[in-house]
Amino acid sequence: MITDANYLTNLPDWSVDHALASAAQNHVVLDPEHIEILQVARAFYDSYGFSPSMRPLCKTVTASLGIEKGRSVYLNQKFPGSPAKLIAQLAGLPVPKNCL
């Protein structure tokens, strides 16, 4: 099930196909680098029980994928607008608590 804001209500329903469809609605074309970031965000959620806001997202991506991919500039290029919110949406996670 999906909310009005296009967030999944049942996290186990997420799939890469869901991410691709949701990305298309947001005018984002996902490549393997996008998918690995979505998977890192889902792993963060599994560990901590909440979606990462921008700072923890950068730290987690840096730890998992390297410093270049963990930079906020890189994440903004890959996920324009509000990267933490868009990543959460595409990864099938709830809206991060302190994202506007």
CB 56, CB 93: distance < 8 Å: no
Q: Is 58 a catalytic residue?
A: no
DSSP 47-82: HHSS---HHHHHHHHHHHH-HHHHSHHHHHHHS-S-
The whole-chain average pLDDT of the chain stands at 88
Q: Which residue has the higher pLDDT, 77 or 99?
A: 77
* Angle, alpha carbons 67-70-73 (nearest 5°): 110
| Residue-range domains of the chain with CATH | 15-90 (1.10.10)
- Which residue among the candidates 24, 75, 99, 100 is catalytic per the annotation? 99
- Give me the pLDDT at residue 1, please: 46
Token couple for 33:
């680098």
State the pLDDT confidence band at 7, using cuts at 50, 70 and 90: low
pLDDT digits (tens, 9 = 90+) for 39-87: 999 999 999 999 999 999 999 999 999 999 999 999 999 999 999 999 9
